[in-house]
Amino acid sequence: MTSVEPNSLVRGAGVALWRQIEQAVEAEIAERRLAAGERLPTEHALADRFGVNRHTVRQALASLEERGLVRVEQGRGTFVHDDPVDYAVRKRTRFSETIRRQNREPNSRLVRAESRPAEAAIARPLGLRKGDTVILLETVGEADGRPISIASHYFPAARVPDLIAAYRAEQSITRALARCGVPDYTRKSTRVTARLPTAEDARALRLPRSRPVLVAENLNIDQEGRPIEISIARLAAERVQLVFEP
């Protein structure tokens, strides 16, 4: 199964047992003998294998988790951290394109589509007044079947009144906007922060409530420089890295 032997531990040699265990597991991960996403043996099994108490194993795993190499899930087990997806943020960032560039299979599905009055925080950057009608499209983005992001896209209804129908026909925001008379749009600014997920975020991302999400608020403008979209994406932080290259 694995090549870590009980006798690889040295007792009473100045290096704590749990640090030796930590290094042994770390080496297995570095050498890809434990693949990304793979489940480690149970704490009990590791304790047996190394001939130590389970507490000693737990200390090693806690340190590995703190350093971000593994992820411990109560009741399920301990897993090697998956490789995060790089999400490149450029002037023209399209979800499916950036995922495909990393040899992963993108998928996007609509979870909400409606018209509604805009809150102040949405209206202002769009150049509207609070209460003006905006169209909200909410989409969940996946890479290789793993949910990566849930994004709320807001558009001024006056500019693109038929956007919902267009989206249903095209299954793509870029193409739906084109059909509504907005052939191109680019990113004006991005604001990034992080928080713990709401119940809805956690459900859509299949993420424990205790694991943070990145929140990326994006303002997109059309060719004439007019605001055309605000998108607020919540990204599972442990599965994504936002990459900015000027």
Q: Which stretch binds its own copies (CB under 8 A): 34-42, 48-56, 147-155, 233-241?
A: 233-241
Does 208 interact with DNA (rule: CB under 7 A)? yes
Report d(CA 72, CA 189) in Å as an integer.
36
Does 240 interact with its own copies (rule: CB under 8 A)? yes
Please, which of residues 124-183 interact with its own copies by CB under 8 A? none
Please, which of residues 58-97 interact with DNA by CB under 7 A? 58-59, 61, 72-78
Q: Pick what 28 binds: DNA, its own copies, none; C-beta below 5 to 8 Å, kind-dependent.
A: none
Contact pick of 11, 66, 76, 145 for its own copies (by CB under 8 A): 66
Report d(CA 230, CA 218) in Å as an integer.
6
Q: Pick what 242 binds: its own copies, DNA, none; C-beta below 5 to 8 Å, kind-dependent.
A: its own copies
State the minimum distance, in angstroms, from the CB of residue 199 to its own copies.
8
State the minimum distance, in angstroms, from the CB of residue 63 to its own copies.
10
Does 112 interact with its own copies (rule: CB under 8 A)? no
Does 192 interact with its own copies (rule: CB under 8 A)? yes
Does 237 interact with DNA (rule: CB under 7 A)? no
The end-to-end CA distance of the chain, in Å, is 46
With respect to DNA, which residue has the nearer C-beta, 77 or 125?
77
Q: Pick what 55 binds: its own copies, DNA, none; C-beta below 5 to 8 Å, kind-dependent.
A: DNA
Report d(CA 55, CA 32) in Å as an integer.
26
With respect to DNA, which residue has the nearer C-beta, 177 or 237?
237
45-54 long-range contacts, Cβ below 8 Å, gap at least 24? Answer: 46/21, 49/4, 49/6, 50/4, 50/6, 50/8, 50/9, 50/17, 50/21, 50/24, 51/6, 51/9, 52/9, 52/17, 52/18, 52/21
Name the site residues for DNA (rule: CB under 7 A).
11, 16-19, 40, 42-44, 51-53, 55-56, 58-59, 61, 72-78, 208
Name the site residues for its own copies (rule: CB under 8 A).
66, 68, 84, 86, 89, 91, 187-196, 198-199, 210-214, 237-238, 240-246
